[in-house]
Structure 1
Amino acid sequence: MTQTLPDQLAQALINCDQEPIRYPGSIQPHGFLLALDGGTVVQASENLETHVGMPAGAALGQRLTGVLGAAAGEALERELAAHAPRERPSYLGTVNAATGNRFDVLAHQYDALTILEFEAINRKGDADFRHLYPLVGDFLNKLNDADTAESMSDLAAREIRAVTGFGRVMVYRFDGEGHGHVIAESNDGTMPSYLGQRFPASDIPKQARELYALNRIRLISDANYTPAKLVPPVNPRTGQPNDLSFAALRSVSPVHLQYMRNMHTHASMSISLMVKGQLWGLISCHNEAACHIAFDKRTACEQLGQILALRIETREDADELQFRLEVRRLMVGMLAHLTQSSDFIDNMSSVFPELLRFARAGGVAVLVDDRVVCHGETPTVPHIRELVAWLDVHDQNDVFHTDRLPQLYPPAAAFQQCAAGLLAMPISRIHKHYLLWFRPEVVHTIDWAGRPDGKELGPQGQLHPRTSFATWRETIHGTSAPWHSGEIEMALEFRTALLGIALERAEQMAELAEELGRANKELEAFSYSVSHDLRAPLRHIVGFSDLLLESSGSEDVGKRQRFLTNIKESARLCGKLVDDLLSFSQMGRASLRPIRIDMRELVMNCIERMAPDLKGRSIEWNVGPLPLVQADPAFLQLAVYNLLSNAAKFTGQRESARIDISSEDNEHEHVFHIADNGVGFNMEYVHKLFGVFQRLHRMEDFQGTGIGLANVRRIIERHGGTVTARGEPDQGATFTFTIPKQLAV
């Protein structure tokens, strides 16, 4: 099947992108090239004879003195020995060949060879770089008064045209699609103006752009030149074609030369503008007649280009920072309002005006499951639902953005007037929660320097450059103002902040659920206590009251006294249960007031308080060295008192009781141990030990309400510590608790 014209054009463009422009095998003839290997000429351009009177083949194997003459050859050899060439060309000096012709000599090391380039000049002396410093200084001073890329570029175009004498100097920047937009021009009136126009990306193939980024300046002195081939045609060291990426004399693509002729340009120079490591644009110089620019002037122009690129980068960074600060200020203001209500849509609705300013949008919509709330100019709710359904399927990124929604989502053509641009954020991947910004269509025109598809195919599908550069106007529909990179990044940050708020809410809910679960368990324990522990003394009160009533006529005073004593003890136990419950409930609400506490002094105070209740008992208290801690004194004393009284209680059946209080330190906390030789407990039930109203022994054997250890756990955990216990039946128990060295309250 015969390939169609569009297919042929596409293939030809691919071929153009693959053209080996770094390996042309030839140079421009306004100079000649010698390649050295160890000081010996191993390669020469075939126009050597034109410049120095020696055939290229005859120069192979000779030293520079044999090709250029003793004076010139020795001078260059001394320079090469003193200053080893690097990857980029450097100026070695100006020499007179034996024929009397003068040349500026450039040298660089590349592709395993030392490359010497000799550019023919009419100047009598060496290149003079002294004019470079005042030129750069003046240019910097002028740039201080320019505050936009356009105004700075205009200054650069005028300065470079003054240095070079070219008829037209343009500065154009590349857009996101690679098209070049002419933002500044200096023109002597002899050539057409392209200011404000665009050159299609296809004018500069991919490998040419890569070479522009690598080698910052390129000169074509005469578009009608006949290339001078290299002899031999391949690099003798590698056996491959020479890589002439950094050669000033490198021959250029025949397609580009024809492009220049079609443009009525016979000399050109390009200076790359690199901003943040990327090819931002070019300074493109054109002349109607052939024109050679010497190395010193090219160096001056290259320096001006680098300074311009640096100032553009600084200006863009400053503008970017200012833009981001303003967007961040809006974002912070919005986030402050988004915690007012537990309803997400209500929160977002309260900041709709700020959301529009945040994204410079015309409309905004929030979708949460089946609810959709809109503000500003937006598509209809059904259209929004269908759009979100499409996003769910076709986009899995954290933020989706486009300024050409109808091209990606054809149904958007129905509402492109209000939503040609879209910035969309999924707030949840599980549920259909979206925040969407819409930008309206911006109908605009582009003036092209010739039709952007104006390249033509010749015989056998060969690519020919376009022949027309007449202004061609294109009207663009279905696009919005582009989204700024700062807006995209701030949207991502905003999404993260929203997720943070949601996570915080979830954590609060989880904490509340945990607290409710704990409260439910405590409520169950309380119910059990009411039904068991509290009812037991109440039954005693009722029972002994009945007995007292029955014996009211009796003269047995001792019996009535015993009944009243039992009633009093039962009532006291009821009160103690209620007091302990109240204390436990308050423990979770009261604020900590930490101070520096001497733990040994606190322990001794607790032992002294317990002394009246322990009269007649033999207890050996062993209190080791204890540290100072940061804690709430009232709470911590209550915890320690409970643990010490617990130890005293469960050693009550011992003839000689022993209670040891000790401590140790690790990197982050103080660790305390309270050990006794009492009745101990079975570790199988240790999980019940710190629960409310949980007992491992019968109440008849050991009095108590079952709240003391629950209080201990709550106090220690409020301080950020932990409490554990180890025991063995009839072998005693050890309770261990920790207090952090850095208390977070």
Structure 2
Amino acid sequence: MAGTLNVLEHVDDAYLVCMTGGAVVYGNRRARDLLMPANDEPIETLAEAVEPADAFLELISEARTVGDPVPGRVRARDGGSDVRLEACRIRLGDTAAVIVRCQLASEADAPFEAINRDLRLKREMLRHRRARLLLEQSRSDLDGFAARAAHELKAPARKVSSFAGLLCDDLKDSLDEFSAELLESIRNNADRMIEVIDAVYHFSSGSAGPLELADCPLDDVLETAAGAVAMDIHRSRVRLDIGPLPIVRGTPVYLALVFQNLLENAVKFRRQDVTTQVRIRWQSESGGGGTVTVSDNGIGFDQADAARIFAPFSRLEGADVDGAGLGLSTCRSIVERHGWLITASGRPGEGAVFSIHIPREAVVSLNGL
């Protein structure tokens, strides 16, 4: 027995040796530090130094009759730590006894906490994986719908373009100049509609991938955008004043769609009592980038609505105009996908200013500005 106790004195774990009646006859150094840290009384009084004392005695009693290790838990008195116990019946020579392994509950629980953390992490990963699969399925369904919608939208546009072209060819000798221009404008706008439908579809679909950037002279982009709304500008007698603009890195068809939407907005939200004026200017910034501003003298808006007007399907209160409410939302999506920023400011009855902030790295050339 003495040899066994001598070995226990030099191990790192805390051990007690108890008689089958519950009396503690030995505790190694680690056990005394753990269960009786501020008590110099003999180890034999340990049952009085832990709580609940009856739980400790019941553990010893159960271990005496059970062959497998028996778990238990006690707390050292006077605010001591929780201690996890594991008691097992042994023989020391001819004497039946119970040996008790003691361990701080926090240390004993650490492996289980690690396992629980791992399980929680795996559950979270599984939840995210399921969500991702659902999102991918939803995106696939939406892509399919968008493809069918784009096909159906382009079909009548192709017919308009084709019929306008046939009329131009068949009646070219009998049409006056204005009628010929109208037919040509119809054909050009139908072709432009097909191009925009394709661009919007590829932009919104999950298969769009990275933007196909190119050097874009914004002068040419504005010419395309203005041409798309030329009939509205002419009919509404809008005065369009476009200043010199730089060359930037961007996707021409998308950028043309941005300015087309901004020009359409200026026409839609014009005041009836004044001649509508739309002014487009470039302002260089000290950091190397710059800002394109599109300003008008239309009905304007309350500055409190400056963020809301970019939301999908958003409409200004009191504004009775046609449209789905997606123009400015599309502008923001395209601009932000380029890594740029679009903001708006306005005052009721005085007009609006839309500012596209372009960073230095996107400006290829100031184009003689």
TM bucket (normalised to shorter chain) is: 0.3 to 0.5
Structure with higher RCO (Cα < 8 A, 6+ apart): 2
| Larger helix share, 1 or 2 | 2
Q: TM-score normalized by structure 2?
A: 0.44
Structure label with greater radius of gyration = 1
TM-score normalised to the size of structure 1? 0.23
